[in-house]
Amino acid sequence: MDESGAEDAGGDPLVLVSNRGPVAYTRSERGERTAERGQGGLVTALAGLAGHFQGAVWVCAALGEEDVAEAREHEGAAFDLEGDGPALRVRMVELEPEAQHKFYAVISNPLLWFIQHYLWDLSDTPDITRHEIDAFDNGYAPVNAQFADAVAEEVEALGGRATVMLQDYHFYLVAERVRARCPGAFLHHFIHIPWPHPDAWKVLPPGMREALFRGVLGNDVIAFHSRFYARNFLLCCQELLGLGVDLDRYTVDVGNRTVATRWHPISVNPEELEAAAGSPAVADHVRRLTGERREHLVLRVDRADLSKNILRGFRAFDTLLDDHPELAGRVTFLALLQPSREDVDQYVAYLEKIRTLVDDVNRKHGTDDWLPVHLDLDGDFDQVLAAYKLFDVLVVNAVFDGMNLVAKESVLVNERNGVLALSENTGAFEELGKFAVTLHPFDIQQQADALFAALTMDADERRERLEACAAVVRENDIAKWLREQLRDVRRFSERAPRA
Ligand code: F6P
């Protein structure tokens, strides 16, 4: 075990696979190509895995022009990544732009993302037309094949034995193909978003649906953030594919193999977060926001994603102000939103709806010297950390969310006995629900009432709830998430029949 508390995963090297990689290349003003850390919490979490294997290579997509240039310079092969962390090699896969668009902006998002977060309005959307079929056949499938071939080459270069850890819904077809070519690989897939019940998958034509399930069942272990998602996955295998499942042992039989499902809630690194929250840049934002704030601060921090339920959050705030005129001028709703997936039509339209609704609420309730909702679409993480310190109520009302790391980060940083108002449909609710104020994501009146209850809660109760949430997150930290996965890798790779 090392100082992070994580154990070694045994003798095999690691091949890690995700769409966004550990590094993103850009061109500086002086014309030099510079490497920046890849975006998102997932990258930070996964970077910790590399040090526990006998060598690690991370296979990811070459996303921007400079990524592509870097990949070409290495002729598509893996190269050493320089940095302070454990030794890591990166292989950036250059995708044909049209195939990449079909893979990312038609099938992964929105089609699969919307199915897995129950976002389609089934009376009207989606239409499965030649466009979607073409995007699957000429985008998702070939991109997955290209990734599978890149992974297989890395496994072969490592002598045929390796632990392959796939991430997320972009790569459901990879494991089956790698298994066929590399029988010595142990295949593990972590799915970071919800897994819905079987009927939700009936949106897809049977051929596409079965291809996706057969593909993901090429793994030895399939992991989720919550037990409910693992259970739903098994129910899908039973009902949609007619496979034998064991709902006590959480396994599914596929031919002569048994595939295990597991659940481990992802988390954050409390020390790293608390250190970042102590920086001078954060202190500057704290000073500014403190000057601007009213008596009560309601906060939300999200990617501008439909699954986050941002519109209903503003409608609930509108209802709160209707029901409690005494709050006029005394409360602000600060929404720090990060525009996301701007090459997907639904996301562009969603952001527009957000802007319009914020204007409506502000026009209805605002006065010359009070803007009820502050919408910020280009803040940085320092501002987020400052806002975490200052909120009285944090709103996480997601329609469905695999985990929701904002809920976990915010309770570690808050300095005002802030209350977490948390959707019952988030993975985080399993751990934090009993200390949060519950939000029912579709019930606007309930959300408004819950916000009022949170804003007017007695100080001792607020403090106790916040401390309890923070204690849970400190206990179930990112090191624990890594440790549990490494334990699974050791345990199940010993059992998996391998050539
Ligand atoms: O939660 C799933 C996920 O793919 C994360 O891994 C990622 O941080 C997030 O969604 C953002 O998605 P994208 O890579 O499409 O911006």
- pLDDT tens digits for the chain (499 residues)? 554 445 666 679 999 999 999 999 999 888 899 988 877 777 877 888 887 888 899 999 999 999 999 999 999 999 999 877 778 999 999 999 999 999 999 999 999 999 999 999 999 999 999 999 999 999 999 999 999 999 999 999 999 999 999 999 999 999 999 999 999 999 999 999 999 999 999 999 999 999 999 999 999 999 999 999 999 999 999 999 999 999 999 999 999 999 999 999 999 999 999 999 999 999 999 999 999 999 999 999 999 999 999 999 999 999 999 999 999 999 999 999 999 999 999 999 999 999 999 999 999 999 999 999 999 999 899 999 999 999 999 999 999 999 999 999 999 999 999 999 999 999 999 999 999 999 999 999 999 999 999 999 999 999 999 999 999 999 999 999 999 999 999 999 987 777 7
Ligand 1 within 6 A of CB of 401: no
Ligand 1 within 6 A of CB of 264: no
Q: Which atom of ligand 1 is nearest to the CA of 403?
A: 1
**Is residue 185 within 8 Å of 178, Cβ to Cβ?**
yes
Ligand 1 within 6 A of CB of 20: yes
Nearest partner of 151 among 174, 170, 180, 183, judged by Cα: 174
Pocket test for ligand 1, best of 17, 19, 39, 42 (most atoms within 8 A of CB): 42
- Closest residue by Cα to atom 8, ligand 1, is 40
Ligand 1 within 6 A of CB of 341: yes
Ligand 1 within 6 A of CB of 177: no
Pocket test for ligand 1, best of 101, 168, 344, 346 (most atoms within 8 A of CB): 168
**270: helix, strand or coil:** helix
The two beta strands, 251-254 and 257-263, are antiparallel
Ligand 1 within 6 A of CB of 126: no
Alpha helix segments (H runs only) across 278-428: 280-292, 310-323, 345-365, 381-390, 405-413
Q: Exposed, middle or buried, 28 (CB in 10 Å: 0-12/13-18/19+)?
A: exposed
- CA angle at 199 for the pair 193 and 200, rounded to the nearest 5°: 35
Find the helix packing angle between 405-413 and 459-475, rounded to 10°. 120
